[in-house]
């Protein structure tokens, strides 16, 4: 069994990580570290895990586990690893933004590798340190990777995306309160979202000549979880070739599916799947991407990365059905 440690276990993503790992056939949770929740039962923080009686939050760390997931807030993973040293055999999967960019991958003798799947599947095999992608970054990149691989991206790519309230985390904020979010929608960080850099780096790795603009308008949605992103750009490719291009690119990926039918969030919420609707309308390519932001956009992809690191079936622990109704 793979011995697993979790650092920062009280947030939404950590809760989903715990839930999936408890049902993983090859993994066993060794500890869940939380300084603020130490000694509390898991169910006192994650109410959906009320049947789990044998695990409590810990204030101690086992530095010899096989793999550790870092689920702290952005900006904290780097300082944590500077102050704490795990065994030479421990794999580390960071779910923050601290190591996602090319210029920030190194920390002393540790080199992090970007874990966007399936793009980096072969790259991360046998590696020790993985930077898990961002949620919007995952949805948008999966919508654009086949086009970039075929050098189809023009100098203007337009992206509209909407995310559920769990994307903002569990801490209270002015735009996170139910009374503000309910029956409401708003734009935030237009053209300046923090995930644009990692998206651009991946696209340029496939289409080096791409120097265009990713015109991204993110929205806060009045629902709990999920991301829907619509990506569109001008292209001369016809729809049949476009569908074949996307279907071929993802034919061996168990968690990215391509369709010409209309997609919606209920098809993917509570799963590790990304569903892409591929269309060509009036000279424009339109790709609609839907994912669960907490699973495919965070915890699920992190477990998928763990499976690859340990040469397991990458679907282990992730065979989840959508909460459709």
Q: Across the strands, what pairs with 233?
A: 285
Exposed/middle/buried for residue 151 (C-beta within 10 Å: 0-12, 13-18, 19+): exposed
Exactly one of 20, 71, 135, 274 is catalytic; name it: 135
User: What does the alpha-carbon distance between residue 301 and residue 305 come to, in Å, rounded to a whole number?
Assistant: 6
Phi then psi for residue 196, to 5 deg, are: -65, -35
Contact 136, 297 (CB under 8 A): yes
User: What does the alpha-carbon distance between residue 124 and residue 27 come to, in Å, rounded to a whole number?
Assistant: 19
Could you say which DSSP state residue 203 is in? H
Residue 81's nearest CA partner among 57, 105, 59 is 105
Cα angle 144, 149, 246; round to 5: 60
| Residue with token string 């996170």 | 176
User: What does the alpha-carbon distance between residue 66 and residue 184 come to, in Å, rounded to a whole number?
Assistant: 44
274 is catalytic: no
Total count of residues recorded for the chain: 325
The tokens for 3 are 């011995």
User: What does the alpha-carbon distance between residue 299 and residue 19 come to, in Å, rounded to a whole number?
Assistant: 10
Cβ density class 199-217: b for 16+ within 10 Å, e for less: bbbbbebbbeebeeebebb
Query: DSSP characters for 223-282?
Result: SSS-EEEEEEEE----HHHHHHHHHHHTTT-TTEEEESS---GGGTTTSS-EEEEEEEET
Contact 242, 278 (CB under 8 A): yes
Residues labelled as active-site residues: 135
């Amino acid at each position: 069994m793979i011995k697993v440690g979790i650092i920062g276990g009280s947030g939404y993503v950590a809760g989903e990580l715990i839930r999936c790992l408890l049902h993983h056939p090859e993994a066993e949770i060794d500890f869940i570290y939380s300084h603020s929740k130490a000694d509390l039962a898991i169910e006192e923080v994650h109410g959906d895990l009320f049947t789990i009686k044998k695990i409590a939050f810990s204030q101690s760390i086992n530095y010899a586990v096989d793999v550790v997931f870092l689920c702290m807030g952005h900006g904290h993973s780097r300082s944590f690893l500077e102050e704490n040293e795990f065994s030479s055999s421990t794999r580390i999967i960071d779910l923050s933004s601290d190591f996602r960019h090319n210029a920030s991958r190194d920390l002393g003798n540790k080199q992090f590798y970007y874990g966007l799947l399936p793009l980096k599947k072969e790259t991360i095999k046998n590696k020790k340190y993985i930077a898990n992608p961002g949620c919007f970054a995952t949805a948008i990149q999966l919508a654009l990777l086949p086009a970039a691989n075929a050098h189809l991206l023009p100098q203007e790519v337009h992206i509209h995306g909407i995310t559920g309230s769990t994307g903002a985390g569990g801490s209270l904020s002015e735009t996170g309160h139910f009374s503000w979010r309910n029956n409401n929608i708003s734009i935030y960080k237009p053209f300046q979202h923090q995930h644009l850099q990692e998206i651009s780096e991946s696209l340029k790795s496939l289409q080096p000549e791409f120097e265009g603009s990713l015109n991204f308008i993110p929205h806060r949605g009045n629902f709990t979880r999920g991301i829907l992103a619509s990506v569109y750009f001008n292209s001369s490719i016809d729809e049949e070739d476009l569908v074949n291009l996307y279907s071929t690119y993802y034919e061996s990926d168990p968690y990215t599916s391509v369709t010409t039918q209309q997609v919606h969030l209920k098809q993917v919420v509570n799963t590790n799947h990304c569903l892409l609707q591929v269309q060509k309308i009036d000279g424009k390519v339109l790709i609609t991407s839907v994912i669960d932001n907490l699973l495919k956009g965070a915890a699920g992809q992190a477990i998928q990365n763990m499976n690859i690191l340990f040469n397991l079936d990458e679907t282990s622990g992730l065979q989840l059905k959508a909460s459709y109704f």
